[in-house]
Amino acid sequence: MHRTTALLGATLLLLSTSCLASTLPSETSDKTPGEIPTHRLGGDGRPSDGDAPEISRSTGEPGGIVVMWPRMIPKDDPEVRDMAGKLQQRLKELAKATFPDAPVDVRPEPERVCSKSGCDGVALGAVITKRERGCAVIVVVGARGPAPLEMAPWLGVIKTKAAPPFREPPENYITIQEYGDCGKLADALGASNGSIGDDAPVVALLKDAMSASK
């Protein structure tokens, strides 16, 4: 009896802890970890018509910013997709506010990663994830070329293992420690001036990447 009670208590403790922190499933979990599916690249590593649809057909311009389609987890959730489109628009607005004179190239779904040799502009993207009614948004920034990625939470609290290497899924390097409210995120994205979270760390990453790209 005492052993059964102890086991039940340990099980409940484990379940309650898992609601607070969780690692993210990769959006490309059906692929080899770290592998971006590529069918064919041009001789210079630039995108071609034979590339997988996830690879951006544009590398942007030097001194510019390429706003990628957000990585969605789960990727088949219509609410996540709707918020992803609005989130991308918010990333564009942030890029223009930070660098008013920089050309900004917004990529359509599902283009979320630079080509093999990297983008000519700074790559700006995000991971948006939903678990029950909890959501988290992590902004992902890469300097020009095949540079490691840097990340900053825009909603929620995260722990990162390391800076993700170039072209590796950033969600493989993230543990969500605390989710934000999906309803509040949807309201913020639907409002013209709704605040997702603290912009300062995101702007700092963007400025650092632009400086490193010169």
Written as tens digits, the pLDDT of the chain (214 aa) is 444 444 434 343 333 333 446 676 766 533 333 333 332 334 455 665 557 999 999 999 999 999 999 999 999 999 999 999 999 999 999 999 999 999 999 999 999 999 999 999 999 999 999 999 999 999 999 999 999 999 999 999 999 989 999 999 999 999 999 999 999 999 999 998 889 999 999 999 999 999 999 9
pLDDT of residue 64: 98
The burial of 44, by beta-carbon neighbours within 10 Å (0-12 exposed, 13-18 middle, 19 or more buried), is given as exposed
pLDDT of residue 124: 98
pLDDT of residue 96: 97
pLDDT of residue 187: 97
pLDDT of residue 3: 45
pTM value is 0.81
pLDDT of residue 45: 55
Q: How far apart are CA 135 and CA 183, in angstroms?
A: 9
Q: How far apart are CA 140 and CA 74, in angstroms?
A: 18
Amino acid identity, position 58? S
pLDDT of residue 193: 84
DSSP 120: S
Q: Which residues pair with 106 in a beta bridge?
A: 67
Nearest residue to 73 via CA among 128, 31, 18: 128
